Structure 1
Amino acid sequence: MQGIHNGDKPIPEAMTELRLSFERRVSDLRERSSVASASFSRCLRSSRVVADDYLASLEKLDKLKDELREGQAKLAEQLSVKTRNGARYAAMTKDLEAKKAKCEQIKKMISDQRNKVDGCASIISKSLHALEACEEKLRQGQSEKENLDSAIAWYQKSLGLQVVEGEGVKFIFNKIDSTNPDKEYSFTVRLDNDKYNLLQCDPLVEGIDDLLKEVNKTNDFFGFVRIMREKFAASNFSVKAVSITQASLSGDTSLITGSSPVELKPSIVTPSIAKTGAKSKMGIKTPTSSVRRSARLQNIQG
């Protein structure tokens, strides 16, 4: 062995160097292995951490997927509810619009009814005023009728006046001739187209045409009746005067009686009724107003 050597060095020394070299290599390999093992351990631990994180992430992902599915289900439910609410809202909006239109229609109807009520109230108020005016006219007409009835009664009692209806209105007087109080004097008048026409006069008196023209002009029918009675009384007075004159000339005094002076005064036989508000012996006012052609005489004619 001593003879074995490696080149210039002996074999033991070479073996020692080789062993040292191997030991150094082994030491390097061990260090490298330790470093690699440590690095691998670190990598393994890191991989485990990553794997754990990955597994945790997977779990979180599963949870998130579950939450997502739940969220999607809730969203679908909310969308369904929203759709139903939208349809309900649209229906309610439509119903509200219809109710608004109906309210406007009702308001218009109420306004129209108020206008009608106001119009009816105005008409009723005017009708009440017209009714009051008619009642006042009726009271005045009744008062005038009472006055007319009183006047007719006074004429009938004091002057022997009678009014008879027929083809026209016939006015009959008596109590004109004191010797024959029941002797009748009459005339008949008819109203045609607001014009007085004389149908009959017994006995016929003078100036009757002028009297008709005057009454058609003035419409003073009471005055016409009064003048006609005065005309009858005057005609009777003329007849009496002629009879008395003839009797005086013939010497017959039988016609001249104690009552003749009274008979010779027409104003005593026919009291004047022209004074306004004058009273007769019976205490009744004599009429002074004229008769309207379209009212009183037509009422008498029926």
Structure 2
Amino acid sequence: MALKAAIDSVKGRIEDLKTSIPQQRTKNKECATVVSQHRLGGHILVHNRILGFHVEGGRGVKFTFKNINVDNPNEEFFFTIRLEDDIYTLLNCKPSVKDTDEVIHELNKTNGLFKFVRTMRKKFQEAVAQGSLSMTTNEHQESAFMSASAPVLSISTITEGNENQDEPIKGNAHLQKQVNRRRVKSPGSASSVCQSPRLKEMKRCGGCSPARYLILMRHAGSCRALIANKLTCKLRHTQVLDV
């Protein structure tokens, strides 16, 4: 009797374990789901903070990115895809990028959604780089056009200035002739100066400057005084001998 009771007890325990094992497995799955969601939420927060990435549901799934344009980090780049009958379809994309048909075909072929999202973000970055490059090229072309046009403006301005300056010159031609005639007739004119003896001496000296002419005249005067002094002494000596 004791053995039979022990066997019944073991059988009852087995039944309890059979019932509790599925329940424990369900709890384990729930815990794993909660942990996974918590980790996923942490990853999403990191992606939202660093990549400016978030997902919205609706008529399809909308993937939005920020922090792509360096000049405007808050600018949004997004695309929306829809899954229907196991076929992905790209509903919209802003800004539009190249080769989206090939990327969608690759997504339907491999079902690699994460790779598709990374590829689209890379294409957004390429579109921003190409847009900034084209803007830089346009600025260089505009500056080259302005530099090429500048000489034309300066030439026209100089021409207008010369045309405006011609009129007063022509108007003052008669007055200039009268001034020249007065200078010729004045007693202190160049013709009267040329008749002075000192100027003639300067011409004989080879057209030297007035300062040099004065030095030469002083030197000549001192030489004349010395010669006169020697002649005076010689005459006095001769008179003494005669006496």
Q: Which structure has the larger Rg over C-alpha atoms?
A: 1
Name which structure has the greater RCO, CA cutoff 8 Å, separation 6+. 1
Scaled by the length of structure 2, the TM-score of the pair is 0.48
Scaled by the length of structure 1, the TM-score of the pair is 0.40
